[in-house]
Amino acid sequence: MKVLSFLPLLLRRPCLRPAWLSSTLVRATALELVILAGHVLIYPSGLTPERRRPTPAPGTGAGSAADRITRSADTAATDTADVDPGATDSAAKDAAVTASTETDLADTTGTAGMADRAGTAQTAGTTALPTKEDDHPPVVLLHGFIDNRSVFVLLRRSLARHGWRHLESLNYSPLTCDIRTAAELLDRHVEEICTRTGHREVDIVGHSLGGLIARYYVQRLGGDRRVRTLVTLGTPHGGTAAAPLAGAHPIVRQMRSGSDLIEELRHPAPGCRTRFVSFWSELDRVMLPVETACVDHPDLDAVNVRVTGIGHLALPVHPAVASAIRQALESDGAALGAPGAASVA
């Protein structure tokens, strides 16, 4: 961990940069650019809130639709050894490029069955009850700064194919100026999901700023009573020094190290029931230093998962990370290692 704190220095001084780091950085940067290009294409599809459609007739619903989706390269190993996504870079690049032609599964696989059951229950004036098929709690996906739900299109597809029926995304406005306000919106959103689906708990996956919003909700607004597992991807838990020119935005200032909000998250949180699984990458150029994406709090049950070979934008779309996220949600994070640090790549 201490060695990684010198990565920015090494990257600026070619004479000190080892060959493996140079080649890995080039590949990671190329992948970031491919993902960025793909995301720009599908970004408009995520500007509007999710629509919930009734479930089609039996045999044509969300489950069978998911079964018809061609399996992609998201079966990378997820054990406690270092994971190297470089082996699946080509698959991730193909996924990023073809993502622009994918229909957002928010409208088909993720919430179709849920919407039908919820609509029936609400018509009868009752709360929907989970069925035997609802083994997994609902998963709420929270995007990062100046982004929207389209960033999770590939992760949604992966989760839907592997049995998750309740998948929902929350778009918060780019004009939102306070993480606390966004966390209060998340609180209302989670309560509505629990009422509609009959589940008492949800899991949350947050990318970058989305993870920080979710952590504030869990740690400071009592969200631990509702959130079983919180997975964060490249989230500045300790504050980041990146993007100094963006500091004019109030939320960016809140993400700075030493901000009032970051200091508030350092306050004691005894009895917090939520389990944290934080994915951080040694090549994440948005997190400075990179270890700021780790959860470091004595009262929180946290596993910090090190990802190698990819950058910030790749975290929510890379198949190896998607596989590790599924494992964390299925096992409540236990399989990734004891509280502390683990590795996935």
pLDDT digits (tens, 9 = 90+) for 184-222: 999 999 999 999 999 999 999 999 999 999 999 999 999
In three state form, how does the secondary structure of the chain look?
CCHHHHHHHHHHCHHHCCHHHHHHHHHHHHHHHHHHHHHHHHHHHHCCCCCCCCCCCCCCCHHHHHHHCCCCCCCCCCCCCCECHHHHHHHHHHHHHHHHHCCCHHHCCCCHHHHHHHHHHHHCCCCCCCCCCCCCCCEEEECCCCCCHHHHHHHHHHHHHCCCCCEEEECCCCCCCCHHHHHHHHHHHHHHHHHHHCCCCEEEEEECHHHHHHHHHHHHCCHHHCEEEEEEECCCCCCCCCCHHHHHCHHHHHCCCCCHHHHHCCCCCCCCCCEEEEEEECCCCCCCCHHHHCCCCCCCEEEEEEECCCCCCCCCCCHHHHHHHHHHHHHCCHHHCCCEEEECC
pLDDT interval class at 174 (50, 70, 90): confident
**Average model confidence (pLDDT) for the chain?**
75
What percent of the chain lies above the pLDDT cut of 90?
49
pLDDT of residue 5: 36
pLDDT exceeds 60 at position 131: no
Task: Give first-to-last CA distance, the chain, whole Å.
Answer: 16
pLDDT of residue 114: 40
For β-strands 167-170 and 202-207, DSSP reports them as unpaired
Distance of alpha carbon 273 from alpha carbon 344, whole angstroms = 24
pLDDT interval class at 172 (50, 70, 90): confident
Please write the tens of the pLDDT for every residue from 46-74. 777 776 644 333 343 444 333 433 333 34
Counting every residue written for the chain, the total comes to 345
pLDDT of residue 299: 97
pTM listed for this prediction: 0.71
pLDDT exceeds 90 at position 99: no
Please write the tens of the pLDDT for every residue from 228-284. 999 999 999 999 988 666 667 899 999 999 999 999 999 999 999 999 999 999 999
pLDDT exceeds 80 at position 129: no
Please write the tens of the pLDDT for every residue from 155-171. 999 999 999 999 998 88
